[in-house]
Chain A
Amino acid sequence: DTEVTQTPKHLVMGMTNKKSLKCEQHMGHRAMYWYKQKAKKPPELMFVYSYEKLSINESVPSRFSPECPNSSLLNLHLHALQPEDSALYLCASSIRTVGNTIYFGEGSWLTVV
């Protein structure tokens, strides 16, 4: 089973709302990631968690707040977003060691109004 599950699949939120995106994997992977993909663009890395610790933050604005409660779960808390934050948010995971396949979830489509 090579599945990364993301919820919700679609989210519309106002600029003053607080919402969260959730991601779950049961493959025993110890590295989890958030990527952002704008329409017709390649994905861009936002955050990397390794063994539940944040190891990379690609200068993402503080209105995005990641959380890794345990090795299977990854959340992305959203607050005071801007319309330009509307995008597909992709969660991914891989075995800790490098050179392994990175598996992506189906993504959460976010629209900020």
Chain B
Amino acid sequence: ELKVEQNPLFLSMQEGKNYTIYCNYSTTSDRLYWYRQDPGKSLESLFVLLSNGAVKQEGRLMASLDTKARLSTLHITAAVHDLSATYFCAGENYGGSQGNLIFGKGTKLSVKP
């Protein structure tokens, strides 16, 4: 069964700094997803990574996938307060039905001035 581990679980950053959130998964996963969740809100899709070596960027966020290492990273460049949220990575069981996402515990990011 797929297990997904994120670290760190809590991250306090200063504005303007860079940092990386790591997502390790235990078995082969077809795809790796990153979502953002603001307090009391739903999940906003950030990235879908479909293959080894995939890299996607949107604004100050960049996600990558290394299927050999079973590792995905979410890199934050020059953080701003608006990025404060909880970030989840999720894998999908290989060969399983789509939508059966296994989420990590989430990384609560707080960006301070």
Within the complex, which residue of A42, A48, A100 is in contact with B103, where a contact is CB–CB below 8 Å?
A42
Q: Which residue of chain B has the shortest Cβ distance to A104 in the bound complex? A: B43
Knowing A42-B88, A42-B105, A98-B30 touch, does A48 contact B97 (C-beta < 8 A)? yes
**Chain A residues with CB below 8 A from B88, complex form:** 42-43
- Check: B41 CB closer than 8 A to any chain A CB: yes
Q: Which residues of B contact A106 (CB under 8 A)?
A: 41-42
Report A10 CB to chain B, min CB distance, Å: 11
| A contact residues around B98 at 8 Å (CB) | 31, 48, 50, 94, 96-100, 102
Bound-state Cα–Cα, A101 to B33, Å = 8
- Please determine whether B99 and A33 come into contact, CB atoms closer than 8 angstroms: yes
How many angstroms from the CA of A113 to the CA of B88 in the assembled complex? 30
Q: How large is the interface on A (under 10, 10 to 19, 20 to 34, 35 or more residues)?
A: 20 to 34
B95: nearest chain-A partner, CB-CB: A98
Chain B residue total in the interface (Cβ 8 A): 23
B103 touches A104 (CB 8 A): no
Question: Which parts of B23-61 form the interface with A (CB within 8 Å)?
Answer: 30-31, 33, 35, 41-45, 48, 50
Q: Is the CB of A107 within 8 A of B31?
A: no
Q: Which of B42, B97, B106 is the one whose CB lies under 8 Å from A105?
A: B42
Q: Which chain A residues border B100 with CB–CB below 8 Å? A: 45, 48, 56
CA distance in complex: A56, B90 (Å): 18
Using Cβ atoms and an 8 Å threshold, which residues of chain A touch B35? 104
19 sample A-B contacts, Cβ–Cβ < 8 Å, listed by A number: A31-B98, A42-B88, A42-B103, A43-B43, A44-B103, A48-B100, A50-B97, A56-B100, A94-B99, A97-B98, A98-B98, A99-B30, A99-B31, A101-B48, A102-B45, A103-B45, A104-B35, A104-B45, A105-B42
Interface residue ranges, B against A (CB under 8 Å): 30-31, 33, 35, 41-45, 48, 50, 88, 90, 92, 97-101, 103-106
Closest 3 CB pairs of A and B: A42-B103, A98-B98, A104-B43
